[in-house]
Structure 1
């Protein structure tokens, strides 16, 4: 007997396979935006003539 496949099933399977890819893509975009923001802030600090532009540590010695 021939088994008939539901065409919607393959579409659902592809959509479920795309979810991890989209999650990784969004996480990478957030990481990249954060890195660019921190670098821009550091460059603004250096352009202002300051030398103490390193990020401050939040832990007290």
Structure 2
């Protein structure tokens, strides 16, 4: 039984503003986590290319950046 005329049932939902902030923080966290994963995979691929080159006995395995020529 209930007292003071309260209805028995589910509790009222949390404040919508608070849930929006929590969702935005979680979304930001997952975006940063995904970006870090992509960066880590890219770095690992670059290191693997250099190691494969060195394992074949080549020299100067580092990538050489050449500036674009303008006419």
TM range (shorter): 0.7 to 0.9
Q: TM-score, normalised by structure 2?
A: 0.66
**How many equivalent residue pairs?**
57
Q: Which runs of 5+ in 1 are unaligned?
A: none
**Structure of greater relative contact order (alpha carbons < 8 Å, 6+ residues apart):** 1
Mark the structure with the bigger radius of gyration: 2
TM-score normalised according to structure 1 size: 0.75
User: Quick check: which one's helix share is greater?
Assistant: 1
RMSD: 2.2
Identify unmatched segments of 5+ residues in structure 2. 1-11
